[in-house]
Amino acid sequence: MKIGDYLEIPETKKVILLKLTHADLLKIWKRCGLTANYGASYLASSCPEKKDVMNSVSMIINELLENAAKYSDEEMGCIELTITLSGDSAILQVDNIIDEQRYMIFKKFADKIANCDDVNSMYMEKLQSFGEDDSMKSGIGLLTVLSFFNPKMGFMFQPLKEANKYRVSVQAAMPIEGAASCR
């Protein structure tokens, strides 16, 4: 099931694909940031004239990785980071496995984001209610990404053969003017 602006990425278009374990990212939290910086630097080597947007790319990757690390199923904790150049956008995607309870919560949140006309208001509402209700914590990072960087967000949920497990793919397409000419 796809929600929002999810794009199918051909294997031949992928610039980088990294597989990480959620346990490693959780144990040493700064690995999310290091991996995000690596991904942004790798992308910058393809687009040296676009280095100014790489901090934004790094921050988005970091947020996607942190969410995957926090919410991945502990038994099936492989996280994939894919970075793709497509037209004038960098497509940043993180895939992980979640249980059914998290699937229900996250799918509802993804629907809400995809159908929201005013993400900034939704972001402010989350900030104001932060700490009042533990269920309100979920999503603040994605709303921060949407509010500050305005990427096109897409989500895909796929049920797995394992009982009550779902593969979730979260995509952020970041516009990078002139990226089509990158090598």
pTM for this structure?
A: 0.88
Query: Looking at residue 136, what is its pLDDT?
Result: 43
* Domain residue extents for the chain: 2-99+150-181
**Would you list the DSSP string of the chain?**
-EEES-----GGGEEEEEEEEHHHHHHSTHHHHHHHHHHHHHHHHH-GGGGGGHHHHHHHHHHHHHHHHHHS-STT-EEEEEEEEETTEEEEEEEEEEEHHHHHHHHHHHHHHHT-S-HHHHHHHHHHHTTT-GGGTTTHHHHHHHHHH--EEEEEEEE-SSTTEEEEEEEEEEE-TTGGG--
Instruction: State the chain's mean pLDDT as an integer.
Output: 85
Region 130-154: what's the mean pLDDT? 79
Q: Higher confidence at residue 19 or residue 177? A: 19
Region 39-63: what's the mean pLDDT? 84
What fold is seen in the domain 2-99+150-181?
Answer: Heat Shock Protein 90 (3.30.565)
Is it the case that residue 80 has pLDDT exceeding 80?
Answer: yes
Is it the case that residue 134 has pLDDT exceeding 60?
Answer: no
Lowest mean pLDDT among 10-24, 31-45, 82-96, 112-126: 10-24
* Local confidence band at 110 (pLDDT 50, 70, 90 cut-offs): very high
